[in-house]
Amino acid sequence: MTETIINLETVNPIDFFGVNNGKLDILKKKFPLLKILSRGTQIKLSGAPEQIAEAKEKINLIVSYIERNGHLSENYFDQILGGDDMETIDHFQERNPNEVLVFGPNGKSVRARTANQKKLVQEAEKNDILFAIGPAGTGKTYTAVALAVRALKNKQVKKIILTRPAVEAGESLGFLPGDLKEKIDPYLRPLYDALDDMIPADKLGYYMTTRTIEIAPLAYMRGRTLDNAFIILDEAQNATDLQLKMFLTRIGANAKAIITGDMTQVDLPRNQKSGLQTAVRILQNIPGISHIELDEEDVVRHRLVKAIIKAYHKEHEELEQRFPKEYHPKSQG
């Protein structure tokens, strides 16, 4: 007799075991020769090795289905356990698994939707550091967060760290109400919004409490070594040379980093230079570091956002031609 423990950390135990353990009872009836115990987010199997192997295969298929769809009825649960033919298994397996990055609450699928977003995914998989540069709405941050959540679910990393420079975009932090956290959180809200789309609220709360997922201003990264982590620096155009160097040198063993930014939205004071363009320039041709540019063709927000970006880009180009010395919106980077 052998024993094995299967972790169910990526799904809500109620979705797997059912109300009043209704699904667990079905599992026990399907495998009467096994001793099956549930312990929190774990399930323990005891019995013959071949029986355990069969049950484990079915349980993994069930977990995969719940991760994608957020719910599994008792009828489907019973079908997965009882169906040994390939048609049944294929019905419940993920189709085009490489296209979907992560399944969020209620089965919402998050995937790379444009050519450059798909390139971003490919480059992130091949490199440990990736610079993703592009205008608002191109999905660079959203795609990066999806990659981080996927890495965490697949146990490729132990934690996710999301960070942004807390730069005042036309407002003064000192005049905002509340304590430091309440003043900083609005700058980090887009990162929370992305996570809300990909992780159920209760699970996200648990990850935040245990610091498995950490969201913090860039200044909080100083002095740390970030091992076994997926790290995202968002709005990197608002980081100075020293800040960006500090961030890049935090990266430890078995860590990946994606740095996103938009050089047309630098909010630093005029006497401070953005470190993003410098970093992209001097870190070229280093194995393991990649760089990708997204453009208005990658915009996945409202249809008018693409037109707005084009209009501003045209205006910037015209002003640069007319006033080459006085007008350099990109010279800050």
238, 167 Cβ separation under 8 angstroms:
yes
Q: What is the reported pLDDT for 307? A: 77
Nearest to 301 by CA among 147, 138, 108: 138
Query: 65-90, pLDDT tens digit by residue?
Result: 777 666 677 777 887 887 554 444 55
Averaged pLDDT of the chain: 81
The larger pLDDT score, comparing residue 115 to residue 37, is at 37
Residue 9 has pLDDT above 70, yes or no: yes
CB atoms within 10 A of CB 128: 15
Higher pLDDT, 311 or 125: 125
- CA-nearest of 330, 327, 310, 218 to 266 is 330
CA distance 164 to 238: 8
pLDDT above 80 (res 210)? yes
Q: Between vectors from CA 229 to CA 223 and to CA 231, what angle results, nearest 5°?
A: 75
Residue 100 β-bridge partners: 111
pLDDT of residue 202: 87
Instruction: State yes or no: pLDDT of 225 exceeds 90.
Output: no
Is the confidence at residue 6, as pLDDT, over 50?
Answer: yes
**pLDDT-based confidence at residue 8 (cuts at 50, 70, 90):** confident
Q: Which residue has the tokens 């079908």?
A: 79
On the 0-12 / 13-18 / 19+ scale of CB atoms within 10 A, 130 is: buried
Q: Tell me the C-alpha distance between 25 and 36, whole Å.
A: 10
Main-chain phi, psi angles of 172, to 5 degrees: -100, 125
Return the half-sphere exposure (C-beta side, CA atoms, 13 A cut-off) of residue 31.
Answer: 25
Q: Quick one: pLDDT at residue 287?
A: 94
Tokens standing for 305? 């956002």
Taking 3-state DSSP, the helix, strand and coil percentages for the chain, each rounded to the nearest 5, stand at 45, 15, 35
pLDDT digits (tens, 9 = 90+) for 249-299: 999 999 999 999 998 888 888 888 899 989 999 998 899 999 999 987 777
The reported pTM is 0.64
